[in-house]
Amino acid sequence: MESIRMNFIRSGEDAGMIQKNRPYHVVIESTTDQSSQHRQFDMSFSHEELLDLLVCLRYHQEISEQKQQEALEKLSQEATKTLRTPNFTNEELVQIDIVTNARELYALPFEAVLDADSAPLLVNQKNPIVLTRRALKPLSEKKTRWPARPRVLFAYASPTWILGSTVPAEKHKEVLLRALQPWVDPLPGVDMVIGNEKSVITTLKEASLDDIKQAIEQGYKDQKPYTHVHLLAHGMIIKDPLRRHRERFGVALDSADRTVTPPEKIVEAILPKTLNQDRESTNPVMVTLAICDGGNQSNTVVEVGSLAQELHQAGVPIVIASQLPLTFPGSTIIAETLYRQWMDGEDIREGLYQARSNLYRAKNTTYHDWVGMVAYVRLPEGYHDYLLDIRLQSQLAALETTSKYANVLLEQSIKETWQYEQVTKRLQTCIDSLTKYLDQYSSETSSDVKVEIVQETQGLLGSAYKRLSELLFRRAGIEEAEADQRHQEEVEALKNAYQCYKQGFLYNTSHHWNGVQYLALQMVLTGRIEKIGEWYACQVAAERDLSPDCLVQRQVWARGSLAELDLIASISGNLHYNPEITKNRLAELHELVKKNPNNFSGLNPVLSTHRQFARYANWWNKENGFFNDADSDLSGEAKKLLEIFSN
């Protein structure tokens, strides 16, 4: 994506006020061709005139629709003259990144800029452009962790002491949960596939400042900091009768003294300095402010910025807000578009462009929200490659979550077909998404770790297909009328798993897990091993991980691989099989896990190995249409080895 940075510089002293005919400078830099331009300009109106025009975009019975339109036209003309963007002919999205040391310019709604045909530039479908703002003041030196697995703090309030309507909390929560669905863990202890929304979202009803602060602190203490904060409330003026010039916008949270919460207090609650000392920051990567005037910079007499700008400068890379009053429908559109795009792994700038476009198309109900939406954005260096990594990791996290739902069905022998339908569709969606991102990652990434990531991901895809095949097998036993069709789908999924494991093994033949699964499914599907040398290659790779110098996790998984290689060898005439050696391997695996329980917080090797050997015993056998070219299957030998797990 091409990015054009426009750095606005004020001439003369800092007055914090726009002065008519005062010279400003702008330096324009392109990231594509490294070119740089400079020009000088002045403003057509004073700061007082700017504020008068901005007031006309507020919703008040004394402001007619005609007056609003006239004000918008004047502001659009000034923004267009100030930016003076080139006549873009781009088909791909272009970013205009605005920075300035003249804080008074942040009060100007650049977002109202027009194109050569006097139409809104930032909603042009043919030549898409996204405008972002960035604080010139250096952000925290800490590097924010960009999350693969989201965790959202959703705080909302409609205090009884204000006259505003009740905020649309249920609608916003519905939107958030829909976007977060791929990462919602199943509810534990229930024999149905029911999602546990608390695994991805914490909802604070009628939230106070202390509620937000305590939730953020608890997230740090639980080592599960929030990746996103979504605040839905009313924005209100913080009145100061003695110093009217200091009035600015805050947030109406629940409070006993009925006071409006100022921006700096909210910043302290969301970004507690005492709890975030790591150089790699665990700050939220995005804060969305679904409130009126959350990005309002109109009072430039005081040096404190809007809530959006203060959060951005304090260390939040992406802050979305409104510089004008925000309608309820508009707030919902912003939340729905941004979170859906983000959770789909799209570039945040694509989401911002789409959100503004959606607001503009709905302007009969959202009025000036398409102008009001502002985005403070600072992306990490190499964002494109970084985004590819995050997309991949995010899809892997979604796949891991879906596998938990599959485990509920398989381990509790649930009989309801609708639950199988629900989980198989979800699993197939994860597989499709992960395959898409893996293809993109493989074609666009040239890093040294590419091979390792690709082979690991191919292995996880293989596991997903294998899980899908097993679900189809179980479902065939429930739906006798559809058994033949389910069996065909089951075998097809198993063949896909075989191909994924094979690709992962060919990427890195020293990775024994992929290799063993590849050979196992080759034996299951055909009844033979085509290249005995590959069996020996996997054995050598696994034995290398038995070294005491290796991590205990690698030693444990190596024993599982060797035990399965032994099992495969038991019906291959070209390979030697000693059942006592295999039993010893499994016993050692069990003992190592028992002695080091804290080393296996994720997938338990004992349960995983037991599950794999049970497949040979109860599923992958001649009775179910496997091992066609072999004289026998592995069910009998697998059942003998499974007795070790019951001791």
Q: What is the mean pLDDT of the chain?
A: 87
* Beta-bridge partner residues of 235: 251
Of the candidates 503, 424, 410, 523, which has an alpha carbon nearest to the alpha carbon of residue 460?
A: 503
Residues 248 and 359 in one domain: yes
503 assigned to some structural domain: no
355 assigned to some structural domain: yes
Residues 174 and 261 in one domain: yes
138 assigned to some structural domain: no
What's the pLDDT at 541? 93
Output the CA angle 67-72-73, nearest 5 degrees.
Answer: 100
281 vs 551 pLDDT, higher one = 551
- Burial grade of 319 (CB within 10 A; 0-12, 13-18, 19 or more): buried
Distance of CA 236 to the CA centre of its chain: 31
Residues 338 and 440 in one domain: no
Residues 6+ positions from 638 with CB-CB distance below 8 Å: 567, 613, 614, 616, 617
613 assigned to some structural domain: yes
Does position 312 have pLDDT exceeding 80, yes or no? yes
Residue 251 phi/psi, 5° resolution?
-125, 135
504 assigned to some structural domain: no
Residue type, 403: S
Q: Cβ distance 94 to 4 under 8 Å?
A: yes
What's the pLDDT at 577? 84
Instruction: Read off the pLDDT band of 286 (50, 70, 90).
Output: very high
Across 513-544, b (16+ Cβ under 10 Å) vs e yields: bbbbbbbbbbbbbebebeeeebbebbbebbee
Residues 224 and 355 in one domain: yes
Does position 344 have pLDDT exceeding 70, yes or no? yes
Q: Cβ distance 482 to 457 under 8 Å?
A: no
Residues 243 and 264 in one domain: yes
DSSP class of residue 285?
Answer: S
302 vs 120 pLDDT, higher one = 120
Residues 6+ positions from 373 with CB-CB distance below 8 Å: 111, 320, 321, 322, 330, 334, 352, 355, 356, 359
pLDDT tens digit sequence for 87-118: 777 788 999 999 987 888 888 999 999 998 89
pLDDT tens digit sequence for 512-546: 999 999 999 999 999 989 999 999 999 999 999 99
3-state percent breakdown (helix, strand, coil) of the chain, nearest 5: 55, 15, 35
What's the pLDDT at 294? 93
Residues 230 and 336 in one domain: yes
* Whole-angstrom distance, CA of residue 395 vs CA of residue 437: 8
What's the pLDDT at 346? 85
Residues 11 and 60 in one domain: yes
460 assigned to some structural domain: yes
pLDDT tens digit sequence for 28-58: 988 776 677 888 888 888 888 998 999 999 8
Final residue of a structural domain among 498, 528, 558? 498
* Residue 160: CATH number of its domain: 3.40.50
Residues 96 and 186 in one domain: no
Quote the number of domains for the chain: 4
Residues 340 and 433 in one domain: no
What's the pLDDT at 501? 94
Does position 608 have pLDDT exceeding 50, yes or no? yes
What's the pLDDT at 23? 85
* Beta-bridge partner residues of 97: 5, 132
426 assigned to some structural domain: yes
Residues 210 and 311 in one domain: yes
What's the pLDDT at 292? 95
Residues 479 and 597 in one domain: no
pLDDT tens digit sequence for 557-607: 999 999 999 999 988 777 888 889 999 999 999 999 988 887 776 678 888
* Whole-angstrom distance, CA of residue 516 vs CA of residue 565: 7
Final residue of a structural domain among 133, 165, 192? 133
What's the pLDDT at 409? 84
Residues 524 and 455 in one domain: no
Domain containing 387 equals: 381-498
Of the candidates 161, 205, 201, 196, which has an alpha carbon nearest to the alpha carbon of residue 179?
A: 201
What's the pLDDT at 353? 96
* Whole-angstrom distance, CA of residue 325 vs CA of residue 597: 54
Of the candidates 321, 331, 380, which has an alpha carbon nearest to the alpha carbon of residue 358?
A: 331
Distances (CA, A) of 370 to 54, 88, 96, 351: 14, 21, 16, 13
Does position 279 have pLDDT exceeding 50, yes or no? no
Final residue of a structural domain among 133, 151, 166? 133
